[in-house]
Amino acid sequence: DTEVTQTPKHLVMGMTNKKSLKCEQHMGHRAMYWYKQKAKKPPELMFVYSYEKLSINESVPSRFSPECPNSSLLNLHLHALQPEDSALYLCASSQGVFGATEAFFGQGTRLTVV
């Protein structure tokens, strides 16, 4: 199984809502990532988890809260988002840590904040 599964595929939320994005992989990968991608822009790194510990937080606002419950799961909790946070949110995983190996990406969650 070489899949990274993200749910939901689409999400519309209001600015006062709380929601969560989920990501799952069963490849035994030790690193997991969250990226944000706006239209016609490259993916921007948000968070990196290594061995279930947060290793990199790229100055992401606190309204985005990552969580890694176990080695296969990665969540992104959303609260009080702004319309400019609307984007494609991508999860990825890799066997090696920090860029030395192939990363597998999920299909993303298309988030719309209204």
Partner 1 sequence: LAKTTQPISMDSYEGQEVNITCSHNNIATNDYITWYQQFPSQGPRFIIQGYKTKVTNEVASLFIPADRKSSTLSLPRVSLSDTAVYYCLVGDRMNSGYSTLTFGKGTMLLVSP
The residues that touch partner 1, with contacts defined as CB under 8 A, are 4, 33, 35, 42-45, 48, 50, 55-56, 58, 88, 90, 92, 97-108, 110
* Count of beta carbons in the 10 Å neighbourhood of residue 53: 8
Q: In the complex with partner 1, which residue's Cβ is closer, 80 or 86?
A: 86
Q: Does residue 72 sit in helix, strand or coil?
A: coil
Q: Tell me the closest approach of the beta carbon of residue 82 to partner 1, in angstroms.
A: 22
Cα gap 77→68, rounded to integer Å = 11
Cα gap 39→49, rounded to integer Å = 25
Q: Tell me the closest approach of the beta carbon of residue 106 to partner 1, in angstroms.
A: 5
Q: In the complex with partner 1, which residue's Cβ is closer, 80 or 88?
A: 88
Cα gap 88→107, rounded to integer Å = 9
Q: Tell me the closest approach of the beta carbon of residue 60 to partner 1, in angstroms.
A: 13
Q: What are phi and psi of 83, to 5 degrees?
A: -55, -30
Q: In the complex with partner 1, which residue's Cβ is closer, 39 or 84?
A: 39
